[in-house]
A and B are shown apart, each in its own frame.
Chain A
Amino acid sequence: DSGVTQTPKHLITATGQRVTLRCSPRSGDLSVYWYQQSLDQGLQFLIQYYNGEERAKGNILERFSAQQFPDLHSELNLSSLELGDSALYFCASSVPRREQFFGPGTRLTVL
């Protein structure tokens, strides 16, 4: 158990809908990262937050947004969903610029 929690574990929705994925980091970690992993692909970095502030952006679509709250949990919002958004979404937390600890992921299926 990495200490990072993600909910929900599975999510099935329809095209055009909006969903919110939630992540709670390890105790004491101020940095939270979001990744997308499509079938048999590598990890695509989406966005990083540090203590509530956006720190780095990767290949995140404009339809996607995220935030980190004062209690350090983070949410990833995905809107106007398309079939191609179906993927595993991972959250990770860390001390800045050090090894990351990953949550179990949320499997999103867009029908």
Chain B
Amino acid sequence: TQLLEQSPQFLSIQEGENLTVYCNSSSVFSSLQWYRQEPGEGPVLLVTVVTGGEVKKLKRLTFQFGDARKDSSLHITAAQPGDTGLYLCAGDGSGTYKYIFGTGTRLKVLA
């Protein structure tokens, strides 16, 4: 069974701090996506990473795909209260039709 484990599960930080969220698996993924979900709303796609070692930047967010395509990280620089939400990594289960979501990281940024 393919799993995507995220860490930490919960994170509460002060505005202006930096943080990194990790998404790990023992399986290879052809691509990974990161989503952010705000309370009561559907997840919104942030980025897709496809190539091993790939780094993508979205303003203060930096996403990296591991060289072996088994893990990914999300780094937020100078976090703001608007970054608060549930962050989910996800990817296609190789050899199956299932699309797998990670366990989630719930981030709270305090003003």
Contacts and interface: CB of A to CB of B under 8 A. Distances in A.
Interface string B25-38: 00000110100000
B96 A2 contact: no
Interface string A73-111: 000000000000000101010101111111111010000
A43 B99 CA distance: 11
B2 interface: no
Contacts, number: 61
B42 A56 contact: no
| Count class of interface residues, chain A | 20 to 34
Given A48-B98, A55-B97, A56-B97, A99 B33 contact: yes
A36 to B, nearest CB: 12
Given A48-B99, A90-B42, A100-B90, 11 more contacts: A43-B101, A45-B99, A45-B100, A55-B97, A96-B97, A98-B48, A98-B92, A99-B90, A100-B43, A100-B99, A102-B43
Please provide the 9 A-B residue pairs with the shortest distance between their CB atoms, ordered closest to farther: A102-B42, A97-B92, A42-B104, A56-B97, A99-B33, A55-B97, A56-B98, A43-B101, A102-B43
Interface of B: 30-31, 33, 40-45, 48, 86, 88, 90, 92, 96-104, 106
11 contacts: A40-B106, A43-B88, A45-B100, A56-B98, A90-B43, A97-B30, A100-B33, A100-B90, A100-B99, A104-B41, A105-B42
